């Protein structure tokens, strides 16, 4: 069960997605695939050799590794670019590059089949001082995808061959998975077993790895949306090759690894999230009980400034669990963008689409003109939902002009139904349609953490709007409201084949990160190329936290081989050597002087 080849793609079987949307999504995929198969000049002189190692030694080292893993499982990255989005492997690049296509590339990709083989790779990397970069499935879209932080790293693609669902426990509502298990695969396996009493929680796109998303502290949209908080138990290969199990997993013969997260002594799981301190090879995850009913609802708010009172209304309802899931408050322009059509259909000029243009469009659409949409879900049997929905309705309607949208009026391809599926734990892909907004569309996220407050929402909205206007980019904001905080999520959609557009996106992001930090807002997660900058904003007390992280890094990874630079944490041998890349947009920084000219296959 659950091998990578069984991960459902866009087949109708796994979704309630209307056929026309599926087609669009498929087209989106094809579009990306097409643009990634182009061969660039750079491509001719690949693969990259990791800096600091002689080419011949590296080649011999790969041969040694191939002897251990099998020739087919050590692949030099010297082939035409292939999209890894929902395709099979190799996972050699960020399929949504924010720098030059060939900036964040692997020298080779290796495919372990077991924890033992991951250990072998790690020991090998220590022997040859080769930077390695583990990925689960490489689908961290908008945050770097399958790409390594350091050019020429050897990517460890865990998901290709380690994709087993090791356990689904229908009594405890838990599971144990390997890195290659996607949300789709997990959902399908639960359905196949007939466990209708259990739901999974999924992020906006269901094609990614459960482990990968959780380790990056991604969120979903049911009451189990805080994936990190919902995990229980890790198996980790340390940078020096040892294997630990955390929590109750450290007790031989235990029966609670997936039910009690903490174990005894220091609770170290958090060290392995957003870090480069180890490779997670197994993870326990709790599953949500079927709530016995659910009901999506949507409210439209007229004016931009309605955001302010809306957040004040949301906060106590969210903390009080009347609003039960991570709710999205999305700007009206997203209503248009997520339909999956190019922006040129609405506006052919340069710069951001003028407000009057998108308002004209909105008027023609079922929801009608508005500025903000709230997407929520109520859980439980009808009378329990009614209790909560009545409170919500009363509160939301305190805002003049607030309208509850009757789902009955919405066509089957309306985005509402995608959110409805997601908040009910059914994996979905519709969200990716808005990459079609521009040609060769890719996206990259600005995602600062904020209190749930009107004044903060407006401040962040204005901050983003100002910078988007400055760089001539359409501003597509949404607020994801957690329990006591919210993330503003702004996805910049750009033409990834256009260096000027990439640069504009990168520059805009960097300005927004700095603007936000000055006001006390920090990113919860970021793209590989922005990690140094974001880490630099968490610099309280003379960068004490980073110094602490570096101390841990030096202790756990003395040879500095594990994902150097991830989350801004550099091993000693890289520190202070100008490894930061892309602060000046597109600037290459390391390791591109050495490239193989021949194709090498083991």
Name which of 107 and 286 has its Cβ closer to its own copies.
286
CA 440 and chain centroid, separation: 19
Binding map of its own copies across residues 535-574, x = CB under 8 A, - = no contact: x-xxxxx--xx-xxx-xx-xxx----------xxx-----
Binding map of its own copies across residues 470-499, x = CB under 8 A, - = no contact: ------------x-xx--------------
Pairing, β 174-177 against β 165-169: antiparallel
Cβ contact 366:414 at 8 Å: yes
d(CA 372, CA 146): 33
How near is the Cβ of 553 to its own copies at its closest, in Å?
A: 9
Name which of 317 and 405 has its Cβ closer to its own copies.
317
* List 58, 85, 128, 277, residue binding its own copies (CB under 8 A): 277
The 3-class SS string of 405-421 reads ECHHHCCCCCHHHHHHH
How near is the Cβ of 142 to its own copies at its closest, in Å?
A: 16
* 421-450 binders of its own copies (CB under 8 A): 449-450
* 333-352 binders of its own copies (CB under 8 A): none
Q: Rounded to 10 degrees, what is the CA torsion of 157, 253, 243, 93? A: 10
Residue position matching structure tokens 């890289």: 574
Helix (H, G, I), strand (E, B) or coil at 145: coil
Binding map of its own copies across residues 23-62, x = CB under 8 A, - = no contact: ----------------------------------------
- For the record, the structure tokens of 261 come out as 């997260």
Set 128, 143, 375, 574: catalytic member = 143
Check the CA dihedral 74-570-526-326 and report its sign.
positive
How near is the Cβ of 269 to its own copies at its closest, in Å?
A: 6
CA 464 and chain centroid, separation: 21
- The conformation of residue 558, written as its DSSP 8-state character, comes to T
DSSP-assigned letters across all residues of 23-70? HHHHHHHHHHHHHHTPPPTGGGGPPBPPTTS-HHHHHHHHHHHHHHH-
How near is the Cβ of 539 to its own copies at its closest, in Å?
A: 7
How near is the Cβ of 425 to its own copies at its closest, in Å?
A: 15
By the rule CB under 8 A, 517 interacts with its own copies: yes
Set 36, 149, 318, 525: catalytic member = 525
* List 289, 366, 400, 472, residue binding its own copies (CB under 8 A): 289
Active site residue 524: yes
By the rule CB under 8 A, 382 interacts with its own copies: no
Cβ contact 65:121 at 8 Å: yes
* List 286, 328, 378, 440, residue binding its own copies (CB under 8 A): 286
By the rule CB under 8 A, 387 interacts with its own copies: yes
* 388-407 binders of its own copies (CB under 8 A): none
* List 57, 192, 319, 587, residue binding its own copies (CB under 8 A): 319
How near is the Cβ of 511 to its own copies at its closest, in Å?
A: 17
* List 183, 272, 297, 579, residue binding its own copies (CB under 8 A): 272
Q: Nearest CA to 562 among 8, 77, 129?
A: 129
End-to-end CA distance of the chain: 29
Q: Which residues are catalytic?
A: 143, 524-525
């Amino acid at each position: 069960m659950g091998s990578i080849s069984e991960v459902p793609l866009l087949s109708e079987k796994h979704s309630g997605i209307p056929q026309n949307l599926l087609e669009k999504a498929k087209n989106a995929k094809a579009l990306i695939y097409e643009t990634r198969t182009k061969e660039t000049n750079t491509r001719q002189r690949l693969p990259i050799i990791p800096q600091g190692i002689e080419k011949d030694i590296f080649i011999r080292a790969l041969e040694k590794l191939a002897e251990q893993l099998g020739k087919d499982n050590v692949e030099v990255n010297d082939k035409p670019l292939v999209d890894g989005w929902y395709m099979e492997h190799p996972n050699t690049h960020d399929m949504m590059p924010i720098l030059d296509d060939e900036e964040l590339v692997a020298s080779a990709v290796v495919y372990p089949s077991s924890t033992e083989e991951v250990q072998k790779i790690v020991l090998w990397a220590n022997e040859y001082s080769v930077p390695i970069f583990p990925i689960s499935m490489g689908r961290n879209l908008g945050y770097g995808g399958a790409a390594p932080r350091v050019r020429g790293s050897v990517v460890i693609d865990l998901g290709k061959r380690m994709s087993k669902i090791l356990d689904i426990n229908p009594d405890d509502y838990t599971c144990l998975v390997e890195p290659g298990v996607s949300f789709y695969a997990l959902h399908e396996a639960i359905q196949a077993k007939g466990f209708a009493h259990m739901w999974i929680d999924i992020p906006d796109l269901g094609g990614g790895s459960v482990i990968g998303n959780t380790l990056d502290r991604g969120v979903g949209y049911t009451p189990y949306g805080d994936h990190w908080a919902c995990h229980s138990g890790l198996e980790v290969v340390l940078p020096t090759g040892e294997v630990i199990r955390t929590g109750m997993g450290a007790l031989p013969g235990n029966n609670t690894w997936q039910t009690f997260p903490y174990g005894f002594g220091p609770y170290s799981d958090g060290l392995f999230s957003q870090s480069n301190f180890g490779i997670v090879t197994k993870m326990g995850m709790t599953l949500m009980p079927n709530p016995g009913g659910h009901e999506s609802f949507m409210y439209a708010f007229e004016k931009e400034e309605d955001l302010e009172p809306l957040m004040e209304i949301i906060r106590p309802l969210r903390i009080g669990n009347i609003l039960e899931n991570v709710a999205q408050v999305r700007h009206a322009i997203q209503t248009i963008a997520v339909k999956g059509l190019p922006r040129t259909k609405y506006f052919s000029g340069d710069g951001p689409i003028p407000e009057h243009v998108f308002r004209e469009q909105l008027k023609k659409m079922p929801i009608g003109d508005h500025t903000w949409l709230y997407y929520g879900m109520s859980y439980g049997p009808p009378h329990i939902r009614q209790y909560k929905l009545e409170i919500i309705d009363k509160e939301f309607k305190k805002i003049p002009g607030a309208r509850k949208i009757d789902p009955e009026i919405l066509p089957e391809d309306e985005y509402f139904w995608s959110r409805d599926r997601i908040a009910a734990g059914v994996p979905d892909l519709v969200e990716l349609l808005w990459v079609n907004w521009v040609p060769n569309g890719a996206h990259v996220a600005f995602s600062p953490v904020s209190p749930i407050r009107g004044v903060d929402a407006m401040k962040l909205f204005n901050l983003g709007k100002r910078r988007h206007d400055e760089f001539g980019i359409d501003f597509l904001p949404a607020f994801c409201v957690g329990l006591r905080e919210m993330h503003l999520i702004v996805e910049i959609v750009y033409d990834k084949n256009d260096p000027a557009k990439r640069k504009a996106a990168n520059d805009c992001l960097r300005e927004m990160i700095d603007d936000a930090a000055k006001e006390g807002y920090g990113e919860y997660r970021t793209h590989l190329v922005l990690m140094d900058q974001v880490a630099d904003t968490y610099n309280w007390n003379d960068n004490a936290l980073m110094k602490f992280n570096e101390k841990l890094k030096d202790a756990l990874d003395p040879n500095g081989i594990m994902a150097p630079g991830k989350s801004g944490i550099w091993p000693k041998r890289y520190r202070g050597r100008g490894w930061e890349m892309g602060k000046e947009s597109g600037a290459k920084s390391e390791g591109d002087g050495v490239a193989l000219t021949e194709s090498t296959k083991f």
